[in-house]
Amino acid sequence: MTHRLHRPALLAALALAGVLGGCGSGKARLPTRGLAPPTTATQTTTTATHPAAAPPAPGGPSTCVRAAKPKPRPPQHVPKPTLRLDPARTWFATVATSCGDFVIRLDVKAAPRTAASFAYLARRGFYNGLTFHRIVPGFVIQGGDPAGNGSGGPGYKVVEAPPKSLRYVKDVVAMAKTEIEDPGTSGSQFFVVTGPDAQLPADYALVGRVTSGIAALDRIATQPTNQSSPDPALREQPAQPVVIRRVTVGRR
């Protein structure tokens, strides 16, 4: 089931065409790029724009390093998490990739279950060796799929409706879901908004926001994709794999 996001400007047309959610494949995807220009409204999420004491992203390549494409993993059956993160602490996830490292501040207060699930998978090493399998310039990058094509997950789901005021503006991190799943449903696939405003409805579970390592994020977002592929499903995949080497979680 493909986890795919579609921009609101195209929702009605895509639904009528029967292609909402990735040509009816059911994969977890965000909407495709829309036609409406980015808005200039201010950020209204509960995630702080400039959180205090955010750790800098550790070292990593200043350019993307060529990496072998990981083999798809079989269906996963990870036990559902019971982990809870102390909301009195500040939690960060460092994502080390073949294009450099970036840091996400987990929004434990606004999204306790989603943040805890993301941290749980990271601590299990679930994300290590996976990829960013989808890059849409000016919109999002998407990764965390063990199958590598938008169809995989951990074998469990968490449902936590995001804040109604949430807007998916640049550097916000949220979870992908299929078009038939309830708002706030998540597995392991996540996306980072790379455009000014993705203009998505508040249906995608909040994880947090990138607070450092923006240069690495921008490198991933500008990687060439297979746009000339005759297979539409491959056109948003990076021409060279962008590998998630590891995700580590810390607190302050």
CATH number for position 237: 2.40.100.10
Indicate if the alpha-carbon torsion angle 46, 49, 53, 55 is positive or negative: positive
Within a domain: 224: yes
pLDDT tens-place string over residues 209-228 = 999 999 999 999 999 999 99
> What number of residues does the chain have?
252
The total number of structural domains that make up the chain = 1
Q: How many CA atoms lie within 13 A of 123 on its CB side?
A: 16
Range of the domain at 212: 65-251
40 within a domain of the structure (yes/no) = no
pTM for this entry? 0.82
Read off the pLDDT of residues 146-188 as tens digits, 9 standing for 90 and up. Answer: 999 999 999 999 999 999 999 999 999 999 999 999 999 999 9
Name residues whose C-beta falls within 8 Å of residue 176's C-beta, 6 or more positions apart in sequence. 3, 4, 5, 28, 29, 30, 142, 150, 186, 189, 190, 191, 204
Inside any domain, residue 203: yes
Quote the mean pLDDT of the chain: 84
77-110 confidence digits (pLDDT tens): 999 999 999 999 999 999 999 999 999 999 999 9
- The answer as to whether 244 is a domain residue is yes
